[in-house]
């Protein structure tokens, strides 16, 4: 059996950006349903949706903030223990893409297996992004990344 993974940028903020011109449909229904990590978050706000000021130094998409784009995404490896145990599923990571397009503050938001969690986080540390932008200038943005581990 070989391990395969798929990656999906989940970010609540990216879902909002994709649906800014259409407030109906599945993505609109998912807004606000993304889990957030324990502790402070760029999404914690009592402000109305039109306010898009940074929280803890990171923006969210909307109000002139454009989502980051993945330009390099090395694949995480399967651990031998996870392969033998036939563990498959999703690791969700919360992170901030800084204004240089580098991931930082990486935290496991949804765990799958300690070894796979660690491999996902290590791989994402080496990812590179075109940074998020606000008013044409690069800014930090908090996002969720989903790494899907599948055995076949």
- pLDDT category of residue 64 using cuts at 50, 70 and 90: confident
Give the residue, 54 or 61, on which the prediction is more confident.
Answer: 61
> How would you write 93-126 as a 3-class SS string?
EEEEECCCCCEEEEEEEECCCHHHHHHHHHHHHC
Q: What percent of the chain has pLDDT over 70?
A: 62
Neighbours of 101 (CB within 10 A): 18
pLDDT at 12: 38
* pLDDT over 50 (residue 46): no
Element (H, E) at 92: strand 89-97
Architecture of domain 3-151: 2-Layer Sandwich (3.30)
Determine the average pLDDT of the residues in 74-99: 96
pLDDT at 25: 34
* pLDDT over 60 (residue 9): no
- Measured between alpha carbons, how far is 152 from 99 in angstroms, rounded to an integer? 38
């Amino acid at each position: 059996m070989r391990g395969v993974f798929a990656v999906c940028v989940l970010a609540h903020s990216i879902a909002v950006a994709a649906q800014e011109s259409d407030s109906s449909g599945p993505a609109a229904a998912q807004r606000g349903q993304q889990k957030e990590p324990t502790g402070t978050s760029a999404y914690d706000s009592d402000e109305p949706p039109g306010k898009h000021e940074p929280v803890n130094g990171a923006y969210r998409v909307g109000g002139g903030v454009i989502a980051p784009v993945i330009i390099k995404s090395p694949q995480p490896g399967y651990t031998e223990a996870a392969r033998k145990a036939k563990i498959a599923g999703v690791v969700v990571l919360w992170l901030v893409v800084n204004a240089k397009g580098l991931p930082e503050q990486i935290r496991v938001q949804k765990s799958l297996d300690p070894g796979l969690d660690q491999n996902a986080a290590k791989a994402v540390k080496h990812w590179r992004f075109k940074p998020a932008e606000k008013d044409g200038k690069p800014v930090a943005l908090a996002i969720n990344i989903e790494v899907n581990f599948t055995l076949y």
